[in-house]
Structure 1
Amino acid sequence: MSASAIPDNLIKVADAAARLGVSHRTVLNYIDAGTLLGFRVGPRMLKVRAADVEALVQPAAVENSDAEFVRDVVAAAGKLTAEARAEIRRLLPPVSESAVDGAA
C-alpha cells in the first residue's frame, strides 16, 4: 500500500471503543460483521477510521412514547372501567398511573 493509499485519521480499536462507549470486543465484532472497516497496521495492530466510528452514532428516531400511546388509547376509548384499565396495564409496558387513568 502506498503512502497516499493509507487512510487518514486511523485510531486504535481501544480508542474507538472509548468513543462509542462499548467494549473492545464489540468494536472487533463490528469489524467482523462489516459494520466497521478495519485496517491492519503491522502483524498485530488493528485500527479503524475515526470518521467511520463517528458515522456509527446516529440520532434515534422516537415516534411515540409508551405513555403517549396509552393516553391516545384512553382518549379514544372514553371512560374505562377498572377492569379495562387493569387489562391495559397487563398488556402494555409499565407506564404511570395517570397515563392509564386518562390524566394528561
Structure 2
Amino acid sequence: MSTFREKAEAQTEQVIGQMLGDELLVREGQSRLRKADSEAEPSEDRAKDRAKDRDEDRAKGADQGIVRDERGQEQPKDKARAQQVSRVDKGGDPPGKKA
C-alpha cells in the first residue's frame, strides 16, 4: 500500500474514532499515521523536495513585475527598470522623453 493511502486511511480512522467517541480507534489511527510517516520511502521524500523547490522558484518569479501599494493601486516593482523598458511606437504618443 502506498504511503499516501496509508496516511489517508489512518487519518480517516482517527476522524471516525473522534466522531464515535472511541478513544482506542483514535489512538490506533495516530499510531498508523506515525508508522506511515516513519516508513516513508526516500523516493517520496525526494519528490516532496522537488515540489518544494518548484514552489520556491515560482515564488521568486512572482517577485517581479507589478505589485500593489498601500492603497491597492498597481505599481511596478522596480520603478527605474520599468521606466527604461522600451515599447514599440504604434503611431500614438510615444512613451519617454521627447528630444
Which bin holds the TM-score, normalised by the shorter protein? under 0.3
Structure ranking higher on relative contact order (CA contacts 8 Å, 6+ apart)? 1
Q: Which has the higher strand share?
A: 1
